Amino acid sequence: MRLLALVSLAIAVSAVKEHDFRKCRDTPFCGRHREQPAAGAEPFRVGSVSFLPVEGATRANECSGLTATLVAPDATRAQLPLVLSLSVLATGAVRVLIDEDSSISSSELHRSDPSVARPAEWDEDMDGAWDAPMLKLGRAVKGRFAPTDALASPGVLAPVKCEYHTMSPARPTDGGEKTMLRCAAEGGEVVVRLVHSPFSVELLGEGPLGSTSSPVAVLNGRGRLMFESFKQQMAAGTEEPVKPEPIKFHSFEDAQPFGPSSVGVDIDFPQATCLAEKQRPSPSPSPSPQP
């Protein structure tokens, strides 16, 4: 029986072909997220910051978290404004939500496609007025799922009380403006730093306010935030969506009815070390040769 099981396993392994597995190069959104930012491209930056009120506040700078607008780096893209929500939970977890601004009017969700320019040879006297293709964006196409209730019970999800401090750079080399949150979680104080430009969120280790304590986790430190809104291109002069080119991989086909709508961001843990490296014993010194 053991021999039969080994033979069956060998047959199963040999039947698995590398080309049967989809890789990043076979997936357009994966390639877009891995591309290096274009030279001179501006990263996301924080536009404005608002602090959320907290019950039982005794000082003016107490809050239960903050919200901030994120300014898109490229005005030629069909990028809707984003809103960042930042809070600390009782467990000490830092909760970061980034979504499209829900206050955007429906008229702004229907706009001409910035990626389609009027042809240079277009003659309005001969061809008539240029009727640019239109776009439907964001919730005008489909509501995006937000896992706001998927973490734990409401009591655990409740944010804790924080103090906020806005810090301006003393020197140009110090970087841009920063907003600090010092929050009282159950396990101790949690300090989070929001860097305004270029946008990033840093969870700091222990240290006094304003110290150069190294971050233990950094979100968007490499500037890879990409938020592709749901999108449908409308044929000129109609309300009929243009069907995008489907993505195919062997027998699989994705019709992309809501356009390329992926979301991604980089998260780093600068102080993390490989467990195998930590547990690897140090080499013992070689014995000295005997005369």
Q: What are the pLDDT digits (tens) for 171-228?
A: 665 667 899 999 999 889 999 999 998 999 999 986 554 455 789 999 999 988 989 8
Q: Is 288 within a domain? A: no
Q: Is 284 within a domain? A: no
Q: How confident is the model at residue 150 (pLDDT cuts 50, 70, 90)?
A: low
| Strand duo 178-185 + 94-100: pairing | unpaired
What's the pLDDT tens digit per position in 232-261?
888 776 777 888 888 888 888 888 888 888
Q: Is 46 within a domain? A: yes
E strands, the chain, where?
45-51, 62-63, 66-71, 82-88, 94-100, 110-112, 134-137, 162-167, 178-185, 188-195, 200-204, 215-219, 226-227, 231-234, 247-249, 252-254, 263-264, 267-268
Global pTM reads: 0.77
pLDDT at residue 291 above 50? Answer: no
What residue numbers bound the domain in which 102 lies? 21-35+42-115+131-144+151-271
Q: Is 217 within a domain? A: yes
Pick the more confident residue, 29 or 147.
29
Q: How confident is the model at residue 269 (pLDDT cuts 50, 70, 90)?
A: very high
Q: Is 2 within a domain? A: no
Q: What is the pLDDT of residue 8?
A: 53
With CA atoms as reference, report the closest residue to 269 among 178, 200, 197, 203.
203
Contact indicator for 280, 234 with CB cutoff of 8 Å: no
With CA atoms as reference, report the closest residue to 43 among 191, 219, 261.
219
Contact indicator for 110, 136 with CB cutoff of 8 Å: yes
Give the tokens for residue 114: 């910035």
Give the separation between CA 26 and CA 30, rounded to whole angstroms. Answer: 8
Number of structural domains the chain divides into = 1
Q: How confident is the model at residue 17 (pLDDT cuts 50, 70, 90)?
A: confident
What's the pLDDT tens digit per position in 35-89?
877 766 778 899 999 999 998 888 899 999 999 999 876 655 667 889 999 999 9
Q: Is 183 within a domain? A: yes
For 235, residues 6+ apart whose C-beta sits below 8 A from its C-beta are 133, 241, 242
Of the listed ranges 132-136, 155-159, 162-166, the one predicted with least confidence: 155-159
Contact indicator for 94, 88 with CB cutoff of 8 Å: yes
Q: What is the pLDDT of residue 134?
A: 84
Contact indicator for 87, 159 with CB cutoff of 8 Å: yes
Q: Is 285 within a domain? A: no
Q: Is 201 within a domain? A: yes
Residue matched to tokens 């990626």: 115
